[in-house]
Amino acid sequence: MAEFSSATTSRSWYHYLLLTACVLFGAVSVGFVGSIIQKSLPTWLHHSTTLIGGGGWQSPSGPFGGLAMIVGTLETSLIALVIAVVIGLGTAISIVFFIPRRLRNIVATFVELLAAVPSIVYGLWGFLVLAPFMYSTIDPWLNSWPFAREIWGDPSQQYGPSLFLAAIVLGVMILPTFVAISREVISVVPDDLIEASLSLGATRWQVIRKVVLPTARIGLFGATFLALARATGETVAVALIAGGVAKVQWHMLNPGTSIASWIATEFGEAQGNEVSALMALGVLLMLLSFSLSLVSRWLVSRQRKLLARV
């Protein structure tokens, strides 16, 4: 490409136009990170230990403790990721290998459309349909399990919305995203490889397990991280169905909250110190999202190098 780096070597008005756009974009991204950090500085300077502590969230005067939101974010997004990856991988494999060729494109298009459905719709469905159903039918059944109090929590605190429900809805929400990407990376595995191992007498599952999945693994990593990023940053769906209680919650059927949804629900009435504390939560969310993207970039480049060596 170097010899064609046309726009950048010729000093024309076109070159300056492109450069101006780039500088603008750079400024926006610096402003994006900078202004949120700047607004959160009072909290970081004076109350940083409170913010990452479990002291609860007392608006409007404080203290503003963020541990409940951090834990809630991790719990909901990790459970959602496990649901989405286990079910999604099987689904993607079935779409590519077991569905008749004619239906395949239709199903693939459909999955991609579902991946574009706005998260508020999933939240609405979870809030108006699933939450009442959980409360009337699923919760009593889960509570009849042995050790139910230790796993699911005190039934008197349960009223439908819960961290567990939020995790399930998040899982359903990121499922189409994960399936759409992993279907694509699985379907570009070369046919030669598959036919070669079939001809050596491998069974269908052996081909998938030993040939298809290892070949597609870079793309599958990418899909996993994208799904995780979507789950950790999800705001309004979780705000509707997690219950919105700022308490560190290990019992999954009790209401809890997440960083993003807490910012959304509390920001409207927040003043002064609380705005700054919410901005500080935003900085935590930003750190989480940026480190996820860093780790995924590192993993992908490492895998590329390993593949190149082979």
Partner 1 sequence: MNDLTELDEPIEIAQTMRDEIRRVSNATRARRLMVSRVMTTLCAVTLAVTAVPLALLLYQLIKRGAPELTWTFFTKVPETPSLIAPNATGGLSNAILGSIALNVYASILAIPIGVLVGVYLAESMNKFAATLRVIAQTMAGAPSILMGLFAFSFLLQDLHIGFSAIAGSFALAVLMLPVIIIATEIAVLNVPNTLREAGLALGAKPHKVSMRVVIPSALTGIVTGCILAISRAIGETAPVLLVIGGGYLNTWKPLSPVSALPLSIYENAKSEWPSQRAQVWGAALLLVIFVFILSLTARIWASRKQKVSN
Of 193 and 213, the one with the shorter C-beta distance to partner 1 is 213
CB–CB of 236/261 below 8 Å?
Answer: yes
Looking at residue 244, its amino acid is: G
What residues are paired with 57 via a beta bridge?
64
User: What is the smallest separation between the CB atom of 208 and partner 1, expressed in angstroms?
Assistant: 8
Of 162 and 235, the one with the shorter C-beta distance to partner 1 is 235
Of 110 and 250, the one with the shorter C-beta distance to partner 1 is 110
User: What is the smallest separation between the CB atom of 254 and partner 1, expressed in angstroms?
Assistant: 20
Of 38 and 48, the one with the shorter C-beta distance to partner 1 is 38
CB–CB of 218/296 below 8 Å?
Answer: no
Q: Is the dihedral of CA 157, 263, 79, 133 positive or negative?
A: positive
Question: How far apart (Å, rounded) are the C-alpha atoms in residues 257 and 241?
Answer: 9
User: What is the smallest separation between the CB atom of 61 and partner 1, expressed in angstroms?
Assistant: 21
User: What is the smallest separation between the CB atom of 162 and partner 1, expressed in angstroms?
Assistant: 17
Euclidean distance between the first and final Cα of the chain, in Å? 26
Looking at residue 17, its amino acid is: L
Of 12 and 48, the one with the shorter C-beta distance to partner 1 is 12
Task: Give phi and psi for 60, each to the nearest 5.
Answer: -95, 0
CB–CB of 193/51 below 8 Å?
Answer: no
User: What is the smallest separation between the CB atom of 294 and partner 1, expressed in angstroms?
Assistant: 8
Stated as kind and residue range, the H or E segment containing 79 is: helix 67-97
